[in-house]
């Protein structure tokens, strides 16, 4: 049983320095394996192991790719 938690990705200002709206996205993160459900390459992310993927969302935008892979319901 995979222990999916949340990794919060912050997409900061783009490299050109333009002011872009900051988006905060919650990805699924497997804390036991120490890896995200898919590579997160567009920004930096912070693992929030205290927040469960299925229930622990606090207003972050839920990653579509993770949702497709894992779903949103508890798996156990
Ligand atoms: Zn994701």
Q: Which helix (H) or strand (E) holds 67?
A: helix 64-70
68 alpha carbon – ligand 1 mean position (Å): 9
CA of 38 to the centre of ligand 1 (A): 6
From first to last of its 76 residues, the chain has per-residue pLDDT tens of 789 999 998 776 666 666 655 678 899 999 999 999 999 876 788 999 999 998 877 778 899 999 999 987 655 4
pLDDT at 72: 77
Q: Chain centroid to CA 43: how far?
A: 11
* Residue 27 exposed, middle or buried by CB count within 10 Å (0-12, 13-18, 19+): buried
What pLDDT does 60 receive? 85
Separation of CA 8 and ligand 1 centre (Å):
9
pLDDT at residue 34, rounded to an integer:
93
Beta pairing partners, 41: none
Q: Would you state the pLDDT for residue 43?
A: 73
CA angle 1-38-32, nearest 5°? 35
Place of tokens 């972050």: 60
């Amino acid at each position: 049983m995979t222990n999916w938690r949340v990794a919060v990705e912050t997409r900061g200002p783009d490299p050109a320095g333009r002011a872009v709206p900051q988006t905060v996205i919650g990805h699924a993160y497997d804390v036991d394996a120490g890896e995200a459900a898919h590579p997160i390459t567009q920004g930096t992310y912070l693992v929030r192991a205290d927040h469960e993927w299925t229930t622990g969302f606090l207003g972050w935008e839920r990653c579509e790719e993770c949702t497709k892979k894992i779903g949103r319901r508890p798996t156990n």
